[in-house]
Amino acid sequence: MERKNILFLCTGNSCRSQIAEAWTGYLRKDLFIPYSAGVNPGVVDINAVKVMNEVGIDISQNQAKHVDSLAGMRFDYVVTVCDHANETCPFFPGNTRRIHQSFDDPPKLAAGLDEKAALGIYRRVRDEIKGFVESMPDVFMIIKETV
């Protein structure tokens, strides 16, 4: 079976989309070629790096990139992982299937917390994203049946 190109899109491409890309490359590399980008990219969140390192996945060398840097690429799926990205998602030509699966924003929820509490939030979101990635083939089959 041919692997499908999948793009995880978020506002900053600093946390949730980076985590989703990493989990997909780790858990679903047999089915997908993962990418991530943002509509207003920043820098990769150090706490996202920490919690991914805890599960043996190194994203410390990743860089946040703008969705425009992927212009011309064909994506089978685009998954928006935050509401802002869903609202501002650019048009992707062809048979691209767009899916919205919003996750809590760890930097926002962790603002002002000590490191232990902050990392707890990042871990929770990391694990929720992992669960979504693990279910992706089933989720996408349901989408195909309803479209």
Count, residues in the chain:
147
Angle at 106 between CA 17 and CA 129, to 5 degrees: 45
Could you say which DSSP state residue 123 is in?
A: H
Cβ 105 vs Cβ 16: under 8 Å = yes
Write out the catalytic residue numbers. Answer: 10, 82, 89
Q: Which of 16, 37, 17, 9 is nearest to 108 (CA)?
A: 16
Asked if residue 62 lies in contact with residue 32, where contact means CB atoms within 8 angstroms, the answer is no
Task: Write the burial class of residue 114 (CB in 10 Å: 0-12 exposed, 13-18 middle, 19+ buried).
Answer: exposed
- The secondary element (H helix, E strand) that includes residue 39 is none
